[in-house]
Chains A and B, each alone.
Chain A
Amino acid sequence: MSPAIVILGSGLAGISVARELRKLDKEVPLTIVTADDGGFYSKPSLSNALAAGKSAPQLVLTQREALAAQLNVEIRSHTRVTRLLPGEHAVETDGGRLEYRRLVLAFGAQPIRLPIEGSGVGEILSVNSLTDYAAFRARLAGAKRVAILGGGLIGCEFANDLRIAGNDVEVFDLAPQALGRLLPAQAAAFFRTRLEAAGVRFYFDTSIVRVERSEDGLVLTDTQGKNFSADLVLSAVGLKSETELARAVGLKANRGVVTDMLLATSDPDVFAVGDCVELQGLVLPFVLPIMQQARALAKTLTGTPTTVSYPAMPVVVKTPACPTVVCPPPSGAVGTWCEEVEPAGVRALFEDADGKPLGFSLVGEAVKEKQALAAQMPAWL
């Protein structure tokens, strides 16, 4: 018998849908197909696991077998989906063909690669899975100096984690400040000062264009011809939703796989969830949106069509050297940042012309106000 529901991908999105589904229906046959090992791990902990001294296997919260039993699902691990066949209600994998009644795409996102040249390019790492983390940790064993490409959320988290673990860390970013548009100027300055005090070195307005392997490490070169040396280069310049398989069969895709408010793609029996989704123009590759999506989708899949709603969802930046919370205003929102700078932190509110708050950023002690401010923000969807 073909399983009623097939979920493709076993990241937080795929597993959360399965969990939520099982709260509503214990019996409906459910299969998860994943290129991974299929154990459940917390992806956010990849960027604070070094300081905790954790190896990749130690990050697995639930082993595949236990998860399969707990959720009453079949997990086809180490299986790559090669083609979607929505017309036939089937998918092709490197382990055979599989039919479905309802399909859930939870393919996640892939690291963006910068157009860098040189003999060391093949050695540039990015960390977006447990396997990547294992490789990264193994390579770190003989590495002291780490260069990080990208001073965004994930780049800064790794920078802080690597410092705590005892590495020399340099962060390069094309932007003039850390965390891009998530922080207004004074909050960004505060953040930078704190991370620098912890030993992280930042190079802003700097774009690395070449990485060469030399005898004693890697040599990075920026657009000005300036050289920097490192033992390891970590790229953290952002993620790109995985849309290829959907696009290949004509499912509507833009920056992500485009869905309606029910998370249905342009094929009504194919749904999408997680980092691969674009909903109302929003691609939000974070934990909280995934939880909102998973709960709504589980209801829809069990017969109660339920639209996704997004309250304002602040993101905690895991940089212990400078506690930080960001809750960006909706894109295109018109307003100004008002920053209150104290010695111990900065509280920044993004306000519209009437003084109504639309977003905020908190650094240092100001993070205490996260809950109170989040409650005042307008919902995103």
Chain B
Amino acid sequence: MLNVSIYRYNPDVDAEPYMQDYKVDTQGKDVMVLDVLEKLKTEDPTLSFRRSCREGVCGSDGVNISGKNGLACITPLSSAVKGNKLVIRPLPGLPVIRDLVIDMTQFYAQYEKIQPYMINNTPAPAIERLQSPEERAKLDGLYECILCACCSTACPSFWWNPEKFIGPSGLLQAYRFLADSRDTATEERLANLDDPFSVFRCHGIMNCVQVCPKGLNPTKAIGHIRNMLIRSAT
């Protein structure tokens, strides 16, 4: 039997959060953490968490698993259980709504701040805008972000300044548009980021890189933005 300890808090009932211990029979199988949560929910329907695609593309089930942020649906027990114990908490740094469900408002607000959409005010052609495979390759490692918030909620700079520091996820997306040969708003985008907090609060701790379930590298993207900002200032 696997020992599972889960963060519980229901504002309607609980004065404060607590850890609840469960025992789960996994029949020795190396299932995913989400499978354990689903099994527990059949026994205890009050346990609340988000989930949808169960294959690591929708980004719903970002949680803190034995101390590390990740997606429950693609984290096998073999990489998360220590000493027959699995500890599941909500992603850190943002308010908890209930159990493993966090309030992501601040995270989304930072995403919206970077104008996460194509800006190109030249008349659109009758077909697609052409883009070479080399230009398109610059978007690889950027556009795949699933907005799960594993990175931003693992970032000490984001914990300190969630209103002012865009955070690794938002900055990865900022660079996704800066790097797109079809986007014409580079100057405007850089001007919006040019303050002491939005980008420069990143101290290269690289927790984001360590936890990204899609293997993306926000720190590298942030480095590119810094270089662009410095170049545009000189």
Q: Do A and B come from one complex?
A: no
Which A residues have a C-beta under 8 Å from some C-beta of B? none
Which B residues have a C-beta under 8 Å from some C-beta of A? none
